[in-house]
Chain A
Amino acid sequence: DAMVIQNPRYQVTQFGKPVTLSCSQTLNHNVMYWYQQKSSQAPKLLFHYYDKDFNNEADTPDNFQSRRPNTSFCFLDIRSPGLGDAAMYLCATSTTSGPYEQYFGPGTRLTVT
């Protein structure tokens, strides 16, 4: 089945220690998104890629970076995690020009100690 896969599902890192979360997709969608979701809140968009074209949300901290080496894979790098970065990180994909449905992966739960 076509899907969005996120690894790992759970990640524990220390305060200030860089961490990388990964996302892969078999849907062959050209748009990929990274969201941060804190407890019981709606997902908050961090950035997205149209193909290799990177688009950062204005309020995404510089501490968050992303890479998309090819259509299938996308990475979220947190350079110096703080306690406030503990959250669920969701990857999603969509096509470029509608329908505007986004398909989400299962998420990575990040804990910062």
Chain B
Amino acid sequence: GQQLNQSPQSMFIQEGEDVSMNCTSSSIFNTWLWYKQDPGEGPVLLIALYKAGELTSNGRLTAQFGITRKDSFLNISASIPSDVGIYFCAGPPLNAGNMLTFGGGTRLMVKP
């Protein structure tokens, strides 16, 4: 089935550093969603992207919808300890209606 390739799988960074992660697909997506999941909790929607080329920010987070519609990236600036968690990209492939395909996740660890 459709897969989203998310990288890196994990990152261990120093507090204050910037972080970048991305998702790629072999097929076109019309929507890209970025979620964060804290340990023992459900995923929380961070940013939703709906147009190719769209660049959207949410505080220290910035995400972009790639112009080919096959990729997206998420940047976190000036990381803080509470940024720790697993970040998932997700989106519905064309003709999949509401059904989301998820990337494998990026586990972020921040050293104070």
Contacts and interface: CB of A to CB of B under 8 A. Distances in A.
Interface of A: 4, 6, 31, 40-43, 45, 48, 88, 90, 92, 94, 96, 98-107, 109
Contacts of A43: 43, 102
Interface residues of B, number: 24
Contacts, number: 57
Given A100-B92, A101-B48, A106 B102 contact: no
A105 B42 contact: yes
Interface stretch (B11-19, B59-67, B74-82, B103-111): B103-111
28 contacts: A4-B42, A6-B42, A42-B103, A42-B104, A43-B102, A45-B99, A48-B99, A90-B42, A92-B42, A98-B31, A98-B98, A99-B31, A99-B48, A99-B50, A100-B91, A100-B92, A100-B98, A101-B33, A102-B33, A102-B90, A102-B100, A104-B43, A104-B44, A105-B42, A106-B42, A107-B41, A107-B42, A109-B40
